[in-house]
Amino acid sequence: MAPFFKFGYFGPEVGLIIALISGIGFGFWLERAGFGESRKLALQFYFRDMTVLKVMFMAIVTAMLGLLYLTLFGWLDLSKVFVNPTFWVAQVVGGLIFGVGFAIGGYCPGTSVVGAVLGRIDAYFFLAGALFGMLVFGEMFSLLKNLYNAGAMGVVTLGQWLGVSSGMAAFLVTLLAVGMFVGAEWLESKFREEPAE
């Protein structure tokens, strides 16, 4: 029964090897989706190419449906799956900073590594900036501590927050994802530049 690590099917060492393999796979498929190029990634902020939004939402929905169906079949103990605690204020602020960085730099942390592996110089600069930002954050942590913990809600899932079952929450997220997908395509058709004659 999954999660395999929590049920002791393998130890931390094997876990690290699996993490390496899945990490390489993640990077590979990001590249295949064209996410190693900052021009393509940045286009979403001009509503011209919403591939990132579509891919991310479909990935979320796929993982969510997969986890819930495995639970439904009794193959997965969902209570043993790690859930990040929610700090809504900190996450809203962090999300905005992240978005600004994404729009300016043209990468997000994962894709910047993919870009760097492909030898793109802007990705090297982006990575250096990210590392420098980590250093600054670490040094300033005592000042930022209140913000870091702001809006703490503990470990909470969408279903618990809305007061509906996990399955209903999943259905709503699925509808949201399909809506976003359609909306993204509509935006693309509005803003896509006509190819130069």
Partner 1 sequence: MKLSSKIIGFGLLVLLGLILAFAPVDRSSHPQVDSKALLAELQQRNYYISPEDLAHKIIDKEPGFVVVDVRSKEDYDQYHIPGSIHIPLSALLSSEELKDLARDNAIILTSNGNSMAAQAWLLLRQNGVDDVYILSGGMNHWVQVFSHPQPPGGAYTDDELFRYEFRKAAGSVMMGKAFVQEEQKQKVKIRKPVIRKRHKKTKKLDEGC
* Residue from 173, 180, 187, 188 in contact with partner 1 (CB under 8 A): 173
Q: Which is nearer to partner 1, 13 or 197 (CB)?
A: 13
Q: How far is the CB of 96 from partner 1 (least distance, A)?
A: 19
Which residues ranging from 5 to 24 are in contact with partner 1 (CB under 8 A)? 11-12, 15
Note whether 72 binds partner 1 by CB under 8 A: yes
65 binds partner 1 (CB under 8 A): yes
Q: Which member of 33, 68, 89, 150 binds partner 1 (CB under 8 A)?
A: 68
| Closest alpha carbon to 112 in 101, 99, 103, 122 | 122
Q: Which of 22, 146, 149, 165 binds partner 1 (CB under 8 A)?
A: 165
Q: What angle do CA 177, 36, 53 make, to 5 degrees?
A: 15
Rounded distance between C-alpha atoms, residue 186 and residue 192, angstroms: 10
- Residue of the chain from 31, 77, 122, 188 that contacts partner 1 (CB under 8 A): 77
Distance CA 180, CA 174 (A): 10
Strand partners, 152: 87
Q: How far is residue 119 from each of residues 123, 148, 187, measured CA to CA in Å?
A: 8, 34, 32
Looking at residue 137, the DSSP 8-state letter turns out to be H
Of 106, 136, 98, 100, the residue nearest 123 (C-alpha):
106
Nearer to partner 1, 104 or 182 (CB): 182
Residue 170: CB minimum distance to partner 1, A: 5
Number of residues that bind partner 1 (CB under 8 A): 29
Query: Taking the chain, what is the end-to-end CA distance rounded to the nearest angstrom?
Result: 59
Positions touching partner 1 (CB under 8 A) are 11-12, 15, 61, 65, 68-69, 71-72, 74, 77-79, 82, 84, 159, 165-168, 170-175, 177-178, 181
